[in-house]
Structure 1
């Protein structure tokens, strides 16, 4: 097996192991010799994994010996357990797991032929080769075609590419909010307005009958491509459009979020009509919540969208604020998810004492999230991929920047209990637990001090806001955790995933505090 194949196996197995151990197994005995043993709850099979920041090197007990598993064997084991758990089969997800591992190998090979960008923020956005650490197939691109179709647009392959430029006839235009930035991306002919499109989406859809009819009828015209390159970001379908000097005459940078007819993690990444309506209702509430804060935190507003009538979900584009007008002077934004996966320039690589850094991270991330919920009734989806942490020249956190209205919840449009559950999962389980875990792995002697510091931050916020939910959270033995393996296995709607309880890291251990 060559280097890329071995690395792809390891990177694809880690998140699948995380899912299987969290959702379908229980510890079987104490850790020994750097390994832990787990018993699958329904089939009773024993699985041993090497401990570390991520579980690795799985071995299956055969009754007389431990047999090492590679990725195909781990997929087979997962399929057997989930069939036993649910009584259902899911050949499509099994195939997606295998395909996801092949994607990782293709990404590694392509990445080896590229040079890392100079911008530390862009390096962090394009660092997620493994991806979501608790998903059975985080890198699968179902419906996206063979690697030759999508590698040129992959953030993990450090992609930069021109956008397709379309013209929408004025009577076919659907425009809502502030979309003026789109008109500065090129020149539309008289009677038309400019509409950028992601070239991957355009390649997947331009031969569809409805799209061909729009071009034949003159509702859409093809205007070519931008003379400058957009940069792929971690979400794949959202690109960064730089300001000066790459785009002469531009007022500043911005992000553009597109539809994409590809299943990535839990959903086909098409922007649906109801999602556009949700953004237009919710983004002003979140924007106002952050504007009212006496904190350095920032929100990247999705200030408008544009699409074409009859192809509303095929070629919509959401206009999101760029970083230039939001990040503090002399601070460098970094994608929080990349802190746990690693990249050149990761400030965690420079730490000698994690506690001051962790305390600063808590102080920048936790208060604005709880402030927005307590004062304005909005729960931002503050998971690691939606959180940027800006650091000063020494690598110390000085500001949190949040993004993506799609997952934000507003009370009472969303029941308060559901909004709080989602917030707790995103903030505690997805965000803080992952950052604390990588710090504990790097600095084992400091591990027992991390969560007491987090409890102090939550208590301070509880005192400031009087939120009963915080006190209940600190007293709870478990917290809700999104079960991506189970949700995908039973084909749960992406907006209504299943949750499983996991131990609450914020709970006070017996005999302490």
Structure 2
């Protein structure tokens, strides 16, 4: 039976035929695996998230059957919410098999499904293209090499590679896994809001020059006068790039990657330096176990689609014989080690991460310690010695906790302030579990072992008590795309509970 390609798959194949015909065969060969990988992520969400149109879930010897509100049944294989690298060949909706996540969503006909189906179609096609990138064999030689090694994106998100609005040529030119050198543009903005010392090289006389991603220049800021800018290396977040070994730039990108549109609000520009100083001040209490990649400056034109943030590179914190590795790439770093040694180093990292993030939370700062934002400083033997945290735009600051521990009231207003302990704990532990510890463990049983070992001996704070005794929070990634209303959560079985 001939393969029936979706619209996104066909469009991307036609573009490749035009711009990179040498990749077309590899791309088409990668499509079945990409479909199965995204379908597995979608099935995880359908089985484990509080979707209002799923009325029951019945496990059986051969998998799980979902009863839908309209009476239909959806059946698939067993689903472990912490498994990474899983694939699902097909799911059966009333005995009709669907091997493509977008076609399944269309058949389900649920609210928000058409929009999400388009994203899933894009995610499959882009993932297949990402998997055509040759994997590097040599150890990383430059700081950004670690950021460009994995083609698969978020380990649990069905939109792991959704890049709406990106052509095949643009993905090859801008995505980190293809290891390009990206030529930024510069927007002269005479009336720009600038916080911090904006560098002389980003001025035209007295006029600030705001770095612009070339995709943004070609799709959003069309017709705006722009100047040639510096060449930069794309990082894990795609719209963040390394200008050199010491400075990173975060650019506005007005398209939805995974769950969020990646622009930069005027609020973020206004509060960039203040937020950094608060986080740095609190991190000083951790006796060198955590470095904050400082925000150096920010500038914006008063709209979310034209702004940029300059940050200190986290790689400046590597000492002699040390590397700074994004947590998303720790499995790659540790994979060559024998099983026992790999487990010892994984537990050591998990203990350090839980200790640092929970202590920071106790003092009043909740960080999103997922695989992009959290980095480990590891020694030559692969032991995590310290942590680095970057990108402070989505942290939360608790005024009451800060005051309780002797810090002055934070000079902040708005969405960064939060005192609700449930919100703070979900921010910290939800991101740490789904972005770092879950992928490192690879399945629920291993995650239980990892948490039990890592938590042993840590102080019994109220926050860590909830981690030990209550269901584990995880972002409801599928629900968030079907019903976009900010962060939404699911509570998963805690392997530490009897």
TM bucket (normalised to shorter chain) is 0.7 to 0.9
- Corresponding position: 1:55 with 2:86: yes
Q: How many residues align?
A: 443
TM-score (normalised: structure 1): 0.78
In the alignment, structure 1 segments of 5+ residues that lack a partner are: 31-35, 216-221, 244-252
In structure 2, C-alpha distance between the alignment counterparts of 1:323 and 1:54, rounded to whole Å: 28
SS at match of 2:89: strand
From 134, 141, 165, give the equivalent of 2:156: 134
* Aligned residues of 2:252 and 2:264 also touching (Cα < 8 A): yes
- Corresponding position: 1:77 with 2:98: no
- Corresponding position: 1:159 with 2:180: yes
From 365, 369, 394, give the equivalent of 1:382: 369
SS at match of 2:145: helix
In the alignment, structure 2 segments of 5+ residues that lack a partner are: 4-24, 49-56, 400-416
How far apart are residue 369 of structure 1 and its match? 0.9
- Corresponding position: 1:436 with 2:441: yes
In structure 2, C-alpha distance between the alignment counterparts of 1:114 and 1:223, rounded to whole Å: 34
The residue aligned with 2:476 is 483
* Aligned residues of 2:353 and 2:387 also touching (Cα < 8 A): yes
Equivalences for residues 4-403 of structure 1 within 5 A = 4-24=27-47, 26=57, 28-30=59-61, 37-42=63-68, 43-48=72-77, 53-61=84-92, 69-70=98-99, 72=100, 74-81=101-108, 83=110, 88-109=111-132, 111-112=133-134, 118-119=140-141, 121-142=143-164, 144-169=165-190, 172-179=191-198, 182-184=199-201, 188-208=203-223, 211=224, 215=225, 222-226=226-230, 229-243=231-245, 253-308=246-301, 311-340=302-331, 342=332, 346-353=333-340, 354-375=342-363, 377-403=364-390
1:163-197 Cα shifts (integer Å, max 9, x gaps) = 2234443xx13211233xx3246xx4433233322
* Aligned residues of 2:269 and 2:299 also touching (Cα < 8 A): no
Equivalences for residues 458-497 of structure 1 within 5 A = 460-462=458-460, 467-476=461-470, 478-492=471-485, 496-497=486-487
How far apart are residue 254 of structure 1 and its match? 0.8
In structure 2, C-alpha distance between the alignment counterparts of 1:113 and 1:124, rounded to whole Å: 12
- How much is the aligned-residue C-alpha RMSD, in angstroms? 2.9
Q: Judging changes above 3 Å, is the alpha-carbon distance between structure 1 residues 398 and 351 closer, same or farther for their aligned structure 2 residues? A: farther
SS at match of 1:268: strand
How far apart are residue 361 of structure 1 and its match? 0.6
How far apart are residue 416 of structure 1 and its match? 2.6
The residue aligned with 1:451 is 451
